Amino acid sequence: MYVWSKDGTRIAYERIGEGQPLILVDGAMCHRSMRELASLLSNRFMVCSYDRRGRGESTDTKPYAVQREIEDLEALIDAIGGTAYVYGISSGAVLAIKAASLLGSKIRKLAIYEAPFTFGEEARRAAEAYTQSLEKLLADDRRGDAVELFMKNVGMPVEAIQGMRQAPVWKAMEALAPTLAYDNAVMGDGSIPTQEVEAVQVLTLVLVGGNSPNFMKEAADAIVRTLPNTSQHLLENQTHDVAAEALAPYLAEFFKL
């Protein structure tokens, strides 16, 4: 299925189940990656997964702007009934926060998992260096190196990256490489966009994994302190790669009428 965004970009999506609409927003290097989660929630909600612009079956329109991604999400909400629950993970959680700050009551409730905000001047400098390196690699069309840079930036071991470079899936990852700049734009300098977070008025659930790095927990705590209407849960034994079966019960309970 398709919907067309304000700038003419075609956004591909699929839906499963019946009930109140719930949209799943992927993070970097993913598109429609939460099918297991969608299946687990489909007995209570009409769950919509979509390809963010530049990914999968969705098209793209230059130049990129975070506002255009928010318009993509708004177009999808309008197409499936005018209001929706929204869940976002990682940089997709940050995009969901920014959308909720602008779309008001079109997003009925918001749940986020591990928005990867960071703190301090050292983190700001690291984010700036990553941005400069990423932009250079993409400008030179060195897509594989851009993907490797991203993986190193999120802490993947070099040996694992080298193994992935030899795997059949690597070509698909290279196809997604230009969208790394999009997620980087969503993240900005990595700090919490306080003004946008404070503008989120809907009830928000902030989730974090019990086995995730401390900075993820610090980010979750900071979001809770900043958001005006929120609750928080820690998912025991979970990491940033959260298991669908661990996550689904929390989302089902939060989003139920």
51-96 pLDDT, tens digit per residue, is 999 999 999 999 999 999 999 999 999 999 999 999 999 999 999 9
CATH number of the domain that 34 lies in?
Answer: 3.40.50.1820
pLDDT at 228: 86
Pairing of strands 84-89, 204-209: unpaired
> What is the Rg, in whole angstroms, of the alpha carbon atoms belonging to the chain?
17
Residue pair 35/48 in contact by the 8 Å Cβ criterion:
no
Q: Quote the CA–CA distance of 145 and 252 in Å, as a whole number.
A: 39
Structural domain including 244 reads 2-117+192-255
Together in a domain, 196 and 108? yes
Together in a domain, 130 and 100? no
Q: Report pLDDT digits (tens) over 137-190.
A: 999 999 999 999 999 999 999 999 999 999 999 999 999 999 999 999 999 999
What's the sign of the alpha-carbon dihedral 128, 130, 133, 136?
negative
- Is 111 a residue whose pLDDT tops 90? yes
The 2-4 sheet, strands edge to edge: 2-4, 10-16, 45-50, 20-25, 84-89, 107-113, 204-209, 230-235
Together in a domain, 173 and 211? no
- Using the 3D structure, point to which of 184, 206, 232 is the last residue of a domain: 184
Together in a domain, 54 and 66? yes
Q: Report pLDDT digits (tens) over 200-233.
A: 999 999 999 999 999 999 999 999 999 989 999 9
Together in a domain, 103 and 50? yes
For the entire predicted model, the pTM comes to 0.97
**How many domains, the chain?**
2
Tokens coding 161: 């990256």
Q: Quote the CA–CA distance of 212 and 205 in Å, as a whole number.
A: 17
